[in-house]
Structure 1
Amino acid sequence: MSALREEDGPRAAGTRAIPGEASGPDVRAFMRAWATGVAVVTGTLGGEPAGCTVNAFLSVSLRPPLLLVSLADGSRTLAAVAGHGAFGINVLGWDQRQLAGRFAGGAARHADRFAGTPWRMRAGAPVLEGAVAACVCVRERLIGAADHTLVLGRPVWTDAGVAAEPGAPVVYHGNRYQPLPSSAGAVP
């Protein structure tokens, strides 16, 4: 929280000045400073797997357990989640960073994102082999938000040890994928 500066002028307690609206490129530049984990959300559409890379994923509640992902309106993955109801969340490891790129972007870029990618069905959703962790949720609610839909899901299956030898998760920061530094050098 920043202190009120003299140039901000007088304000009533609890209010803030709103000079205008930031542009999409302004917000994109701002978000480059925010380090996030990277996951692939998966589902099935017409019996075929669908999926996309997300970094808008969070835990909403532990009582009851609820998770939330944000999916672009019109995406094949959103259609899979909305239609089928079960969806997977696959936390990618640093050694899977190429999958993050493959599952990102428009459908024309990667017609078959699952080609050559090992996966298996768990609790009604595709789960990527080798993920650092994976979870399958049942869709609870869809909430429209601008050009995206927030998907609230109730976890029905989790595995924090999907990978045979789990490595460090991949992190997205500064408009690129980066490894999470080793905990060996971390400050307590």
Structure 2
Amino acid sequence: MSRGSFPAAPPEPDLRSVMRLFPTGVAVLTTGEGADTVATTVNSLTSVTLSPPTLLVSLLKASRAHLLASTTGGFRLHLLAGEQEPLARLFASQAKPTGDALASHFDPADPAGPVLTGSLATLTCTVSAVYPEGDHCLFLGRVTATRESAGSRAALLFHHGRMTTT
């Protein structure tokens, strides 16, 4: 198919309807430090390359997470387990806690830094590139540390507009 034969972009509702058919994992992204720490739910996360280990995550330009990931140069992703849907909803809401109010949701004893209690895994990343696209920016994060939780549990997924498990 030649480049000139692609049709114009579909209306946003059509794309949203089609993308609901594609299940995605659910994670919480944290960035910032101390009182300037934020957490937000994301499902636009993908592994880009294993060498070097790199992830891609999309953040709304107008979000505090975007600002802090840009200025601090890093972020942490916490992959959610099936029973963590309430946390996914909390960190997706306008009422999400920030700063010190986040402490009750995290295990501060982890040597790599605070980890969301109960998460399946945690990936710590430094920002290696940022690409603006529409109302979001695509952040490439070089993975500097990983941590897997013990045991085998189902992952939290987003599919058909609702959260479910594997």
TM class by smaller structure: 0.7 to 0.9
1:175 aligns to 2:133 (yes or no): no
Asked if the contact 1:37–1:172 (Cα under 8 Å) also holds between the matched residues in 2, the reply is yes
CA RMSD for the aligned pairs?
Answer: 2.0
Partner-residue secondary structure (3-state), 2:163: strand
Partner-residue secondary structure (3-state), 1:78: helix
Q: In the TM superposition, what whole-angstrom CA distance separates every residue of 1:52-102 from its partner, at most 9, and x where no partner exists?
A: 111111111111111111100010111111111121010000111111111
Provide TM-score, normalisation by structure 2. 0.87
Q: What is the aligned partner in structure 2 of residue 55 from structure 1?
A: 43
Q: Which amino acid aligns with 1:175?
A: G
Q: What is the aligned partner in structure 2 of residue 110 from structure 1?
A: 95
Q: What is the aligned partner in structure 2 of residue 5 from structure 1?
A: none
Partner-residue secondary structure (3-state), 1:157: strand
| Cα distance between partner residues in 2 of 1:156 and 1:43 | 15
Aligned residues: percent identity?
35
Deviation of residue 116 (structure 1)?
3.8
Q: What is the aligned partner in structure 1 of residue 119 from structure 2?
A: 131
Structure 2 matches for 1:1-188, cutoff 5 A?
A: 14-15=1-2, 17-44=5-32, 47-105=35-93, 109-112=94-97, 114=102, 116-120=104-108, 123=112, 126-161=114-149, 165-180=151-166
Deviation of residue 49 (structure 1)?
1.9
Deviation of residue 166 (structure 1)?
4.6
Over alpha carbons, which structure has the higher Rg? 1
Asked if the contact 1:40–1:90 (Cα under 8 Å) also holds between the matched residues in 2, the reply is yes
Q: In the TM superposition, what whole-angstrom CA distance separates every residue of 1:118-157 from its partner, at most 9, and x where no partner exists?
A: 343754x642121001110111111111110111111111
Q: Which has the higher contact order (CA 8 A, sep 6+)?
A: 2
Asked if the contact 1:51–1:76 (Cα under 8 Å) also holds between the matched residues in 2, the reply is no
Deviation of residue 40 (structure 1)?
0.7
Asked if the contact 1:40–1:91 (Cα under 8 Å) also holds between the matched residues in 2, the reply is yes
Partner-residue secondary structure (3-state), 1:130: coil
| Cα distance between partner residues in 2 of 1:44 and 1:126 | 12
Gaps of 5+ in 2: none
| Cα distance between partner residues in 1 of 2:88 and 2:46 | 18
Gaps of 5+ in 1: 1-13, 181-188
| Cα distance between partner residues in 2 of 1:41 and 1:122 | 18
Provide TM-score, normalisation by structure 1. 0.78
Partner-residue secondary structure (3-state), 1:97: helix
Q: Which has the higher helix share?
A: 2
Partner-residue secondary structure (3-state), 1:80: helix
